[in-house]
């Protein structure tokens, strides 16, 4: 089922359990080559979300600010974006252009992500596609400027969100996760993949 909330296109239940498992296996293989780390925000505080990435670029943050980087903190390149993940991009966007970054976020029971815009990409005309796996996450959708009315929705394992049009520049975040709401990840928690065109 597809619904639109404040311009965010939500394909709920797009991936069945078999597809979720195959994406999860692909993510695990990325994580063995590119381990999770907790980026430091410009304020000096560490994020509660653990991150890694696949593709030509990964997203990185430290005291110098938010940016895309061609290598992991170890100096190694990021692993390729798994085909299973590129297929989801293809299915929901139909675009010729492929994403250059698949950011992988892991939320444990306490992790959350404050309201923010995705704006480190050179051309914000391309959509961002988000794939949720594991425990449910309360996704908050806002406006293109800070403030104003927001709407929230629980994203479930297998849900895919397309942020395009005005929603591409809209503030969004994850208030909390519902620990234990999914059995997909044996140790619990939530994985979110976001596919981005960077250059
Ligand atoms: C993000 O905005 O990078 C992540 C969104 C999510 O975890 O659903
Ligand atoms: Mn974001």
Beta bridge partners of 130: 161, 194
Beta bridge partners of 116: 172
pLDDT at 3: 97
Q: What atom of ligand 1 comes closest to residue 105's alpha carbon? A: 7
Q: Of 100, 146, 150, nearest to 126 (Cα)?
A: 100
Closest residue to atom 6 of ligand 1, CA basis: 192
CA of 195 to the centre of ligand 1 (A): 10
Question: Which segments in the chain show pLDDT lower than 50?
Answer: none
Q: Give start and end residues of each alpha helix (H) in 48-181.
A: 83-93
pLDDT at 70: 98
pLDDT at 134: 98
Which listed ligand is nearest to 176 at the C-alpha? 1
Q: Give start and end residues of each alpha helix (H) in the chain.
A: 17-33, 83-93
C-alpha dist (Å) from residue 68 to 59, 88, 106, 140: 4, 22, 18, 24
- Note if the pTM is more than 0.95: yes
pLDDT at 161: 98
> Which domains are delineated in the chain?
2-196 (2.60.120.590)
CA of 7 to the centre of ligand 2 (A): 15
CA distance 90 to 102: 14
Phi and psi at 142, nearest 5°, equal: -115, -140
């Amino acid at each position: 089922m597809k619904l639109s909330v404040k311009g965010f296109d939500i394909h709920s239940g797009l991936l069945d359990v078999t597809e979720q498992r195959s994406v999860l296996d692909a993510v695990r293989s990325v994580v063995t080559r590119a381990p999770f780390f907790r980026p430091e925000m410009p304020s000096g505080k560490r994020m509660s979300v653990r991150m890694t990435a696949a593709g030509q670029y990964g997203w990185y943050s430290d005291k110098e600010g938010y940016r895309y980087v061609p290598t992991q903190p170890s100096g190694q390149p990021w692993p390729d974006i798994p085909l299973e993940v590129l297929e989801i991009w293809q299915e929901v966007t139909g675009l010729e252009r492929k994403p250059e970054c698949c950011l992988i976020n892991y939320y444990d029971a306490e992790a959350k992500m404050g309201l923010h815009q995705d704006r480190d990409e050179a051309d914000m005309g391309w959509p961002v596609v988000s794939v949720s796996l594991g425990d449910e996450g309360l996704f908050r959708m806002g406006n293109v400027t800070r403030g104003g009315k927001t709407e929230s929705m629980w994203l479930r394992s297998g849900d895919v969100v397309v942020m395009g049009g005005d929603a591409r520049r809209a503030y969004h975040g994850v208030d909390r996760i519902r620990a234990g709401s999914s059995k997909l990840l044996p140790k619990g928690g939530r994985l979110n993949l976001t596919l981005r065109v960077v250059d």
